[in-house]
Structure 1
Amino acid sequence: MRVHVTDLIPGDTMLREIFNRNGVHVLKKGTIVQLEEISRLLQHSIDYIDIEPREILLSIDPSSETPESLSKVKPHFDQAIDGFSTIFMEAFKTGKFNKSVVDDSFQPVVGSLMGQKDVVSLLLLLNGKDDYTYKHSMQVGMLSYYLATWMGYSSRESYDIGKAGYLHDIGKSKIPKEILDKPGKLSPQEFEEIKLHTVYGYDIIRESIDDKVTALVALQHHERDDGTGYPKSLREEQIHPYSHITAVADVYSAMTTNRVYQSKQQLLIVLRELYSLSFGKLNGKPSHAFIQNMLPNFIGKKVILSSGESGIIIMNNQSDYFRPLVQTSDRFIDLSKEREFAIQEILF
């Protein structure tokens, strides 16, 4: 059965070996086609291929339900969010927290992440408007852990970096709730008060655990390489490497999560913004490692386009990583070329 590449359906089986026009082997006979294989065929400019006769037409939508493995992670996320709530309230009342609660809450999450490579699905699983501060801390801990592993840190170091990310905003427990939850723009005086959460966080962590580096991350996660950050206007070489990592995770989580004063931005749009910030603001090494490792997670995700059409991301464009190739029910849309279209939402 001979079909055009754009008519392939995940589950089709290659009838013959596939070579491109230059004789380079692309796919072997018997390969069961998935979105990755369709993407590879398109990259090699292959138009028609032979497949085994189809018995059943399979759905192209890989996101019709939450994978079972993700469902198993959710209780650990909920436990960590509840755990941070406990830590936060204890810090609010006493100025310190029980260090055992931190590990009891965060260790199970790290254990559940060991077999999870699809970080985008994990972020979608955590999406929600409620309890921003607690969910944000959970996300930053998770993303800091992943980023540390991608950068080659040991499992022990990665856990410590993730834990520092988990605790990075503990100083907000000392910020008045009316400022923290204010729906409108902060006044200059209120913003100065918000900035103090970094100093408060350092003090709370130093009072609670014997870990100066984790305290430094709380103090430095809003510092920027060009010296424009706070609270001490440090420059790149003065900022701890763990703080560079948490800063990237913090910005990405903050920009992709619903907050009382700001709607979340789409996951790919924020990656592009992160790339821009990596030249002078956020440190380039963790920023680029984050982008490089996040992009493959978008392949296969269902999206809603600005045209109202739904489709699936099947390939990242080399010319514009943040505007991928999308397959709808009846066509392919190259967002790097057809710039009148944009992704409005990314779904499971």
Structure 2
Amino acid sequence: MKFKSIFLSKAVPGMTLARDILDFSGHILVARDTILTDKIITKLQFYSIQSLTVRIDEQGNITTDAVPMDSISQESHLSNIRDTEEFAQFQKKFYGCVEYFQNYLNNVIHNDAPLDVANLLHFTNDILETSRNMIHLFDMLNCMRNYDDNTYTHCVNVALICHVFGNWIKLPQEELEVLTLCGLFHDIGKLEIPQSIIMKPDKLTEDEYNVVKKHTLIGYELLKDKNIDERIKTAALMHHERLDGSGYPHQLNSTSIENFARIVSIADVYDALTSKRVYRDPLCPFEVLHIFEQEGYTKYDPAYLVVFFEQMFQTYVMNTVRLSDGSEGMIIMLNKHSLANPVVQVGNQFIDLSKNKSLSIQAII
């Protein structure tokens, strides 16, 4: 068997692994002979894998095979909500906030306008007031997951998620506002990255990925002289740092990453993985949780991660899901020590996914 090492940025669905991919502790992350899919590549990106070894033919060309179906495309479990006037009002206010935020940031970047954080909070609060409670807010956001979002939409999403997160950890109002603004401004540096790279439908090259990684430094430079809380600036700089030192731009470890940046990093990755991208459909929240449970506790603050997922996944109890064998059932109860594998009722049968390893949740319907 012939093989070739390539950068992860060059990987595409259909390639076959020639060697096991190991995590930092030496455990197999993805086994040899696995055919790559979009979701496997996303998983490797999440785990900061830089290169991999794939099969090549006798002429030295990388071989590709038919791509296995990771899962049936996710259907919104809230399709009925999309038809309500309540959702129409939420969507109107949400996109109004995104439009204002876009125009406002362009003015800040290109005309060096001052930051009026009070007005920005007014717009985010207007969206929050449209929601009856935190669970309802996630319902509304999940209704919009099939629309390919841009940097501005992503920033508003992360700001709202941070606000909910802050309520879950019982931050006082002033701190809650700062955390919300951390989410709103965390990706401001991406606005200075060429859109041809940000919206590229294919996997980025190594050079393109290195350009994207500069957005944390650019974001900090744009904010450092503004009269705003220092944590907003450090969140822009540090939200891609990881506790095990595998992040960027400075490979900081657990003792150096500011707390609000730790929270933003979780909200940022969750929103990115559960949102539609030009190169893939949104991932099911349970798929995202499974990735976090397998690998996230070395990279993200466990204290924040546990609170985030325990609180958020309570919102999915009593929802209907599709399992990997095509059957449909209702989530009856969460497993505290394995949130990605709840107890599901299928007909008269109760299936504990933490014990039945052959099944998994593929979609919320």
Asked if Structure 1 and Structure 2 have the same fold, meaning a TM-score greater than 0.5 normalized by the shorter chain, the answer is: yes
Matched, 1:142 2:160: yes
Matches within 5 A, 1:62-81: 65-66=80-81, 72-81=89-98
Q: CA deviation at 1:296?
A: 0.9
Does the CA contact (< 8 Å) of 2:149 and 2:276 recur in 1?
no
Give the secondary-structure state (helix, strand or coil) at the position aligned to 2:134: coil
C-alpha separation in 2, matches of 1:115 and 1:75: 18
Query: CA-to-partner distance for each residue in 1:38-96, whole Å, 9 max, x for gaps?
Result: xxxxxxxxxxxxxxxxxxxxxxxx96732776555333322222233223433553465
Q: Which moved more, 1:247-256 or 1:198-207?
A: 198-207
For 2:299, the equivalent position in structure 1 comes to 281
Matched, 1:226 2:244: yes
Across the aligned residues of Structure 1 and Structure 2, the Cα RMSD in angstroms comes to 2.6
One-letter amino acid of the counterpart of residue 166, structure 1: L
For 1:314, the equivalent position in structure 2 comes to 332
Cα 1:318–1:199 shift into 2, 3 Å: closer
For 1:158, the equivalent position in structure 2 comes to 176
Query: CA-to-partner distance for each residue in 1:312-341, whole Å, 9 max, x for gaps?
Result: 212113563212222345544333344333
Cα 1:227–1:114 shift into 2, 3 Å: farther
Q: CA deviation at 1:199?
A: 1.3
For 2:126, the equivalent position in structure 1 comes to 108
Does the CA contact (< 8 Å) of 2:240 and 2:248 recur in 1?
yes
Does the CA contact (< 8 Å) of 1:96 and 1:204 recur in 2?
no
C-alpha separation in 2, matches of 1:232 and 1:326: 43
Q: Which moved more, 1:262-271 or 1:205-214?
A: 205-214
Q: 1:291 aligns with which of 288, 309, 312?
A: 309
Give the secondary-structure state (helix, strand or coil) at the position aligned to 1:237: coil
Aligned length, in residue pairs: 286
Give the secondary-structure state (helix, strand or coil) at the position aligned to 1:279: helix
For 1:213, the equivalent position in structure 2 comes to 231
Matched, 1:242 2:242: no
Q: CA deviation at 1:298?
A: 1.1
For 1:124, the equivalent position in structure 2 comes to 142
Query: CA-to-partner distance for each residue in 1:176-227, whole Å, 9 max, x for gaps?
Result: 1111111222222211111111111112223554332211111110111122
Tell me, which stretches of 5 or more residues in structure 1 are unaligned? 1-61
One-letter amino acid of the counterpart of residue 153, structure 1: L
Give the secondary-structure state (helix, strand or coil) at the position aligned to 2:208: helix
Matched, 1:90 2:107: yes
Does the CA contact (< 8 Å) of 2:320 and 2:364 recur in 1?
yes
C-alpha separation in 2, matches of 1:103 and 1:256: 24
Give the secondary-structure state (helix, strand or coil) at the position aligned to 1:308: coil
For 2:272, the equivalent position in structure 1 comes to 254
C-alpha separation in 1, matches of 2:255 and 2:107: 34
Give the secondary-structure state (helix, strand or coil) at the position aligned to 1:224: coil
One-letter amino acid of the counterpart of residue 84, structure 1: F
One-letter amino acid of the counterpart of residue 303, structure 2: K
Q: 2:187 aligns with which of 149, 157, 169?
A: 169
Query: CA-to-partner distance for each residue in 1:100-132, whole Å, 9 max, x for gaps?
Result: 552342231344456333454233123123333
Give the secondary-structure state (helix, strand or coil) at the position aligned to 2:196: helix
One-letter amino acid of the counterpart of residue 145, structure 2: N
TM-score of the pair, normalised by structure 2: 0.70
C-alpha separation in 1, matches of 2:215 and 2:112: 12
One-letter amino acid of the counterpart of residue 99, structure 1: D
Q: Which moved more, 1:308-317 or 1:174-183?
A: 308-317
Does the CA contact (< 8 Å) of 1:222 and 1:247 recur in 2?
yes
Cα 1:336–1:221 shift into 2, 3 Å: same
Does the CA contact (< 8 Å) of 1:256 and 1:267 recur in 2?
yes
Does the CA contact (< 8 Å) of 1:304 and 1:311 recur in 2?
yes
Does the CA contact (< 8 Å) of 1:87 and 1:97 recur in 2?
no
C-alpha separation in 2, matches of 1:155 and 1:141: 15
Cα 1:247–1:236 shift into 2, 3 Å: same
Matched, 1:269 2:287: yes
Q: Once superposed, which parts of structure 1, at least 4 consecutive aligned residues long, lie more than 4 Å away?
A: 67-72, 95-98
Does the CA contact (< 8 Å) of 2:287 and 2:362 recur in 1?
no
Cα 1:63–1:278 shift into 2, 3 Å: closer
Does the CA contact (< 8 Å) of 2:131 and 2:137 recur in 1?
no
Tell me, which stretches of 5 or more residues in structure 2 are unaligned? 1-76
Matched, 1:341 2:359: yes
Q: Percent identity, aligned pairs only?
A: 29
Which structure is larger by alpha-carbon Rg, 1 or 2? 1
C-alpha separation in 2, matches of 1:123 and 1:87: 23
C-alpha separation in 2, matches of 1:195 and 1:87: 24
Q: Which moved more, 1:86-95 or 1:241-250?
A: 86-95
